[in-house]
Structure 1
């Protein structure tokens, strides 16, 4: 059995090979997993991320679904996709992020209108790359996600444009299930490559 310790990500690779493949209906993802004493560290490559700026009616509609005006958020909101688009919405502080109480009916209508998976609201990363985030996706039946690695990968791609190549994003606090997702970006001959992952602690072993 694997349980996150503190702000740690639930490990999807427990019991798998050191370099497992994650398979979906559309592609395979390259993964890595390693033991560290009583813990496991895991990461995977989520694939390329596309980015475009967000503004105007789209941003106003999604911000309004959060009870925010367009002027209440930072000016670098964007739409990011590594499969399905979602809006990355910058909130100016962790405190303001924690206080969000979105109207899920309005937010779903806004996301459906503009073809968005949902909205990943995040605080500005500090100088160490630490941030907090909340992912709301009522359009797919998820009022709020505990941990969302794909959206954190999208944020990493966005932040790399501002010179930030390492992130640690805290999620799940509001739901009583704290987790931290890490993301690193490096450049190779094909462009930016991203890895997202985290750590988990083994608290009990059992027979399958």
Structure 2
């Protein structure tokens, strides 16, 4: 099997320059994805916060006003939450692809200059993203995915969708609140499961950033 670095140029300094430049570009791209995710999340949370404050004022007038305002507000917030969830998930997947490429460059540093191993960060021995993330202490579990910003948005989306269902039942039936609460809880649970499954499926089918290596099996 041919060593991956046998085809490097005869000038090792040029190779190091290329790799360090690529490393810098990848770090810059990672910063951009993190910044966009934080910005989109902040906009979404700000809209939810402002909407709940407005809902509290509407609730001080009458039940019909509260229900009408809620049935307008929560579907809009749910739509905003769904598009934010999708975009932040895309940014998160993009970030992991950059991280995989950075890890391979780190392996190049270790193999090209073994004398500097004591000064360089540890590199995962494979391109498997679970092995790369394990270097930073991330767990290899579904729960770790739920702890991400994408998982947090999924929870808030589920609450908003549950509120839509609860308000709809309350507007139709003018009796006790328990049917509305029951419907809201059921919708919340279903939405939570769907958000989580969608996120795991999207992460498992993400593109592999290297054309010259077999893709590792996705973590299920």
> Which structure features the higher share of strand residues?
1
> Which structure features the higher share of helix residues?
2
Question: TM-score normalised by the shorter chain: which range applies?
Answer: under 0.3
Q: Which structure would you say has the larger RCO, counting Cα contacts within 8 Å and 6 or more residues apart?
A: 1
**Which protein shows a greater Rg?**
2
Q: TM-score, normalised by structure 1?
A: 0.25
